[in-house]
Structures are given as C-alpha cells and as structure tokens.
Structure 1
Amino acid sequence: MRRRRWLKAESKEKGVCGYQVKEEAVERFRQKGNFDVLSTRFVLFEKDPIIYVYYQEEQSMWEFIGIHSLEESDYRVVSIDEILEIDLTILELVGLTTDTYACRESKGAKWCIDIYSA
C-alpha cells in the first residue's frame, strides 16, 4: 500500500509568494547537499513544468524533472537559483528524504510525497 502525504508551506515568516524568504530556503538546500542540481533541457528551455523532484543522497544532488521522457543527454547541471526562478513552490520540498520523491499532476497543483517502490 502506498503512503502519500500532501505538503503545505510551513513558514510563519512571509516572503515571496507567501513562502519563506528565498535566501533562507536556498541555504537549507545548500545544507542538504550540493548547490548545483540536475534538471532537463525540457524544463530549462522548453518550459516543461517541474512535475517530479528527487534527492539523490549518493551524489548529494537534487533532480527536477518535467513531463517528457528522458535520455541521459537531456540532463543539465544548473544552480538551485535557476530552478527557483522557474518554480518557487520548490521551496516546499527542502525536507524531502532519499526514500521519497515529490510529484504533482501539473504546475500549480499540490505537491504530494510518495515512497520509492523498488
């Protein structure tokens, strides 16, 4: 049986779009791992919405994926700032653990956290 929980912004401090101040959230991402993250050319250049978010503990790397099927050549290394400029709701996912991933149906939909199944 899958467990699923819905995320909601937890910050009591209001900042950009009601989320925690960007600098504080970026610092939390930095503490969790590498400041560089993986995304795809579809998200970065073709305006795919970010639909899946993973945290890879082995590489200390975040991964932000859209709706297109991917090949290895589609991945790009970018800064977390570039991802936050695309979608500020990513700030809600800083607590993501390695046994879970975040997903949603479309941009603007609520993020849900699901457990990896092998």
Structure 2
Amino acid sequence: MYSHMMVGSNDIAKSKAFYDALFTSVGGKPGITDPKGRLVYMHNGGIFLVTPPIDGAPATGGNGMTIGLAMASTEQADAWHKAGVAAGGQAIEDPPGWRGEGPSALYLAYLRDPDGNKLCALHRK
C-alpha cells in the first residue's frame, strides 16, 4: 500500500542540507531537485520527498505524525541521529536506545527536522 512520503519545508536549502546528511549517513545519495523544485530521495526501494507546500501556506510538522525509517543496525541508527543533529535537526524524546524487552524490543532514535517533522530511526533485533 505504501508508495512514498512527502514533507513540507519552508526552506528547501536548509532541508537539503539536513536530509542529505541524514540519508548519506546510512548509505543513501544526496537528494535531487525535480523540475517542480522538490527534493527527491530514493534509497532501498523507498521514495522520500521534500517540498514547499503547494497551497502557499507555511509548512508545519504534522501533529501526532511520525515518519519511521528502517535501519540495518544500532550503529546505523546512531550515525543517522548524530548526522541529523549536526545538520540542524533537534534530538527529541529519550536518547537513542532500546525500548521494550525480548524479541519485540526496538532500537529507536528520534529527531525533528528543521520544519518540525518528527522522524524516527528504527532497528529491530
């Protein structure tokens, strides 16, 4: 059912610096800018886009929304989190680490992007 994810941005240049740092930290490539001025990231079969809102209103983070990104290891999640903070993201919630116990435990790392969108790096045991 899933095809892609798109978030709004009030500053595409700032978003490009942030998301380029995030995705290259886990083996992805820097985003490309399409003819409509949107940033496009493609990695591991997923597509992630960043765009100024089409209605002209300011971009805001979705209240209650979290975008989860799969990580291959805890080290990859930590590198992602570190790169995001260094590129202008905000560390939120608990520090990166394991949540839960046993086989259902998850390694999670949370950030907000420069426009307030909530992102989560997730690694399963």
TM-score (structure 1 length as normaliser): 0.28
Q: Which has the larger radius of gyration?
A: 2
Larger relative contact order (Cα-Cα within 8 Å, sequence gap ≥ 6): 1
TM-score, with length taken from structure 2: 0.27
More strand by share: 2
